[in-house]
Amino acid sequence: MRYILFLTFPLFLFSSATFITPMEYASQLYKNPRGIGCQSCHGEHGEGKVIAKYIHRKKKKSFVGPAINTIGFNEFYRVLNQRKRGMPRYFLTTEEIQALYFYLHKNDKKKKHVQ
């Protein structure tokens, strides 16, 4: 009996059991990846959002977080790995970027069936 316990114990140590689903993980990552959540600038579902309105040279302007739920994975990956026009660089892993993309496109198949 002691040998069976000894041999099966490593299986418990290296098992891939998780406490949250991939969608829960992706949701939490979208809401708070490294301090500032994506939804703060890109909206609850990546649809884009006006962040601030201001006046520049007597003209009304807006600073907008663009929609990110309509771009392909390669573009999404590229943009997340560079700093550009107010977008902070989060230094996300490939797995984290895939999770975020998965979160933003979770309803894509449902939309195709409805149309």
Identify whether the C-beta of residue 42 lies closer than 8 Å to the C-beta of residue 48. Answer: yes
Which element (helix H / strand E) includes 56?
A: strand 49-56
Q: For residue 24, which amino acid is it?
A: E
Q: Where are the domains of the chain?
A: 22-107
pLDDT-based confidence at residue 18 (cuts at 50, 70, 90): low
What pTM does this model have?
0.69
Residues 30, 100 contacting (CB under 8 angstroms)? yes
Mean pLDDT of 69-79: 92
Q: Is the pLDDT of residue 8 over 50?
A: no
User: What pLDDT sits at residue 48?
Assistant: 93
Using alpha carbons, select from 105, 104, 95 the residue that is nearest to residue 38: 104
Q: Which two tokens stand for residue 105?
A: 């496109």
Q: Are 69 and 63 in contact (CB under 8 A)?
A: no
Separation CA 46–CA 67 (nearest Å):
5
